[in-house]
């Protein structure tokens, strides 16, 4: 079986998740190509060496440009902060490497457009690009999409999506890179809201056409970290700096098919650890999901016998459910990282088949345009702001 040799840039939280997925996917799924975790790339040599050994990568590099130039690499997997996505992805695609890029696709619509254009050029040469909205690969959400695509919900009326976390409630949590605009682009909006927007567009099969939004920074100053990382940091000193991204975002939206959306993303929902929730109500039924119970999908079918019509909680662990025949008998749960393993499976299969993997950079751009409209509306008295959509 031919190999698919992977070079990965970045090895923090996302790097560990992707690394596990590259190792695990071929042992549970029958893949047409054999993924090889070949080269890990990071700026600090001692750190990247240690990480490569720990995470099971054969080699390492300290310069992503050298990585992209290597001819023994087929895929570049980008797990760095959003400000570097565009440069790496475009260079990799132009060098003929398939690219898997973490979300959000970019920190701005301009960058995202450059990336989508590069992906389109690359596709013409059989080179593939995908963005890492991994939650699409959770069996419960893939099942939700299947049910909606089958028409089980009828005409869609409502989408309500929330991504609630609480790791910034402590005002002494330090000012990590995720709280600085130049690195992260935005705060809860891009980190959490991007997932909610992508899911809403994916599940409904409809694009968002306009938004009215509100952004808020609830704790405007925080201690400067000694050593910044993503979600955690240590040794916060006494110096404080300005938070330049949003702590919370809230917006209403309309979809191309007539549905109304209500979105919220926050890092201040005390007690909610990772509550990405989405509910869709249609003329024939409803679906609801919560990432804190990621093996479950709630479903209501209006066509049922009135005595027993009810929301049911599907335990999405049956062999007929998406991805699940590869795992354990019914009733045995999977976890968060399985979404990445499924992402590797789908990405690998698409490359082998010469097809566009999903979600594409164009999908990533569609999310970016919504986030951009959200920011614009929030900056202008929440006024209704249209989102450019495809036709």
Site for a second copy in 26-85 (CB under 8 A): 27-28, 54-56
Contact region for a second copy (CB under 8 A) — 94-102, 118-126, 143-151, 175-183? 143-151
Which H or E run includes 374?
A: helix 361-379
Q: How far is the CB of 39 from a second copy (least distance, A)?
A: 17
Q: How far is the CB of 166 from a second copy (least distance, A)?
A: 8
Site for a second copy in 80-119 (CB under 8 A): none
What burial letters (b/e) apply to 133-165, b meaning 16+ CB within 10 Å? bbbbbbbbbbbbbebbeeebbeebbebbbbbbb
Task: Report the phi/psi class of residue 258: left, alpha or beta, with left for phi > 0 and alpha for psi in -120 to 50.
Answer: left
Contact region for a second copy (CB under 8 A) — 4-12, 77-85, 165-173, 358-366? 165-173
* 43, 66, 311, 355: which one binds a second copy (CB under 8 A): 311
**Residues touching a second copy: how many (CB under 8 A)?**
95
Which H or E run includes 131?
A: strand 129-131
Q: Omega before 339 cis (within 30°)?
A: no
Yes or no: say if 93 and 75 are a contact pair by the CB < 8 Å rule: no
Cα radius of gyration rounded to whole Å, the chain:
21
Site for a second copy in 359-388 (CB under 8 A): 381-384
Q: Which is nearer to a second copy, 256 or 260 (CB)?
A: 260
Site for a second copy in 320-349 (CB under 8 A): 320-321, 328-338
Q: How far is the CB of 285 from a second copy (least distance, A)?
A: 6
Give the C-alpha separation, 276 to 164, whole Å. Answer: 6
Site for a second copy in 271-310 (CB under 8 A): 271-275, 279, 281-286, 291-295, 299-302, 306-310
Yes or no: say if 78 and 88 are a contact pair by the CB < 8 Å rule: yes
Site for a second copy in 197-226 (CB under 8 A): 212-214, 216, 218
315 binds a second copy (CB under 8 A): yes
Residue with tokens 């609830």: 218
Q: Omega before 359 cis (within 30°)?
A: yes
* 160, 177, 224, 376: which one binds a second copy (CB under 8 A): 160
């Amino acid at each position: 079986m031919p190999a698919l040799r992977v070079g990965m840039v970045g090895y923090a939280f996302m790097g560990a998740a992707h690394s596990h997925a590259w190792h695990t996917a071929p042992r549970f799924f029958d893949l047409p190509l054999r993924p090889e975790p070949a080269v890990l790339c990071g700026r600090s040599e001692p750190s990247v060496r240690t990480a490569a050994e720990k995470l099971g990568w054969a080699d390492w590099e300290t310069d992503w440009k050298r990585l992209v130039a290597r001819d023994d690499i087929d895929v570049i997997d980008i797990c760095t902060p959003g400000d570097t996505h565009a440069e790496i992805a475009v260079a990799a695609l132009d060098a003929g490497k398939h690219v898997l890029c973490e979300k959000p696709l970019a920190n701005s619509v301009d960058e995202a457009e450059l990336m989508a254009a590069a992906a389109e050029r690359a596709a013409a040469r059989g080179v593939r690009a995908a963005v890492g909205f991994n939650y699409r690969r959770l069996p419960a959400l893939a099942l939700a999409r299947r049910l909606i695509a089958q028409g089980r919900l009828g005409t869609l009326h409502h989408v309500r999506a929330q991504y609630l976390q609480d790791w910034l409630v402590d005002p002494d949590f330090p000012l990590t890179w995720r709280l600085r605009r130049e690195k992260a682009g935005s705060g809860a909006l891009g980190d959490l809201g991007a997932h909610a927007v992508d899911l809403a567009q994916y599940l409904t099969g409809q694009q968002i056409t306009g938004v009215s939004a509100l952004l808020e920074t609830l704790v405007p100053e925080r201690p400067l970290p000694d050593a910044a990382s993503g979600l955690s940091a240590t040794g916060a000193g006494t110096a404080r700096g300005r938070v330049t991204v949003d702590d919370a975002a809230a917006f209403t939206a309309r979809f191309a098919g007539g549905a109304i959306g209500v979105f919220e993303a926050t890092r201040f929902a005390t007690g909610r650890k990772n509550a990405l929730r989405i509910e869709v109500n249609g003329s024939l039924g409803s679906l609801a999901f919560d990432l804190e119970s990621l093996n479950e999908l709630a479903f209501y079918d209006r066509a049922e016998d009135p005595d027993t019509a009810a929301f049911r909680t599907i335990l999405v662990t049956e062999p007929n459910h998406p991805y699940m025949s590869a795992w354990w008998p019914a009733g045995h749960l999977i976890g968060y990282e399985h979404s990445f393993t499924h992402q590797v499976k789908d990405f690998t299969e698409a490359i082998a088949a010469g097809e566009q993997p999903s979600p594409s950079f164009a999908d990533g751009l569609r999310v970016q345009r919504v986030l951009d409209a959200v920011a614009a509306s929030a900056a202008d008295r929440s006024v209704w702001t249209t989102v450019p959509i495809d036709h």
